[in-house]
Structure 1
Amino acid sequence: MALYARLKQSIHHLVLAAASIMMAFPFIWMVSSALKTNEEIWSFPPTLLPEQALWHNFMDAWNAAPFSQYVWNSFFVATTIVLCQVVNSAMYAYAITHMRFRLKGVFTAAIVLGYMIPATATYLPSYLILNELNMLNSYQGLIFSNCVSVFSIFLIRQAFLQVSGELIEAGHMDGARHLTVLFRILVPLTKPFFAVIALITFIEQYNNYFWPMLITNDPNLHLVSAGLRSFFVEGGAYGLKWPLIMAASALTIAPLLVLFLFTQKTIIQSVNLSAGATKG
């Protein structure tokens, strides 16, 4: 039995290692291609390692377009949206889980129905609203149109439902107001869920492409995805500067990798908490 258990564990580890390599290979190939010449990229048979690593491709790509502006735009917009969504989702979820008021069921049903509506179906009315508010082609438009997320509200609602109602009532009996109960009791108890929402939202908004391109036309407002597209097509890099394209892609993805390295423990903890709560 011990031999069987070890063999099963070894096979399990090999499968996980193979899956990890498959997931990481596109990024490894991207970085490898960034260090090659254009001829090496198209050579056959393809090779993983370049004959001579051209590290200057990264600096050339960074200087070939205003990527520092693109990264700053993405970081600023994504961070602001994360803060707005976390606060809004927490207050809305608290209202429909631990408050009593008329039409509470209607507001809860609106979240469930909104969760089933495709995001693309909201683009036209959202565009018209931003146009009436004079928020097109601005940071305000990028942030305001994404400051509320049905997914975030739904997930925080599920987290708040796992907190005992007796604990909330005890807080009210001690004289705590709704905001005190929310930010002093509920938020600390469900902190891992907020961390996951913040990470998911940041990655989604950092890489957002279609909606920002739809409501902005100023190159100074481009996020990294739109900036890469401009460099790929409009900058004359199409089919000619693949090493620089790969280098630029690696540079814009690097902040997300660093973010994941610092938050992976929190992600694992939240997954474990969610699994435990589901089993309970």
Structure 2
Amino acid sequence: PRLVDAHAEGRAVLALGFATGHRVDPAAGVVVDHPHLGWRDVPVREILEAATGLPVHVDSHSRALARAEQLFGETSTRASTVLLFVGAVVDAAFASSGSLHLGPRSGAGSVAHLPLGSGGSGGAEPCSCGRTGCLQSEVSERAMVRRAAEQGLIVGSFAELLDGALAGDERALGLFRRRALLVGRAAALLLDMFDPEVLVVVEPGAGRLPECLADLRAEVARRSWVCDDPERAVVPSSFTGSVLATAGGAVALGALYTDPLGPWPALPAVS
């Protein structure tokens, strides 16, 4: 009740949406595994429902944003889409005909440990899995800040590094362009595996730096055997700048659109 009183401004609140990275079981409302947070089998829905008194819906960032694209974003995503999320964690989601693939162990889209081969930085920093050259260990926000420091570009956060690139700092921009090439390598593989109508890249460089999107598409053109038109098939997120807030809202709205006659809180009468 305090949460609603503080933030709802008199509006009825139907549900709370929770989105996070790594493996999430939306049916059980459980974060199955989140190594960064040290979470394993955490009953997020149960905890938040007890704390807020609201219905809570839980899912992964990538699936939530894929659903948001299909509901409110690019019309080209309505038939089939792969969404590649690149942030503090790296995940993917695949949707076809309005349905998101989950997998029997809630593990669909676990691309964090895709090997980048010679495109990676070798032994710069081992991945949490113990190997080197994994996608997430090379392109995550933490990896970007670490690499900036290695080049003498000291920043306090990933957001500060992004601001530098947007302001024209050549070293910062170079880091984002390198990231775009590595993400493009993963994107080409996903396009060849799933052959979707469109692949959505949720990554701020692709969304806000034209050079990065161009580099990413060029890498897809070089590496994909299936995608013959990266300009059409590879698009940035419709929600650049607000992806995390959008993900949480999309979890709740996705549940509402899926079952509009479900056990939702009663709305006040409108005269």
Given the two structures, how large is their TM-score scaled by the length of structure 1?
0.24
Greater length-normalized contact order (CA 8 Å, ≥ 6 residues apart): 1
Higher Cα radius of gyration = 1
TM-score for the superposition, normalised by structure 2: 0.24
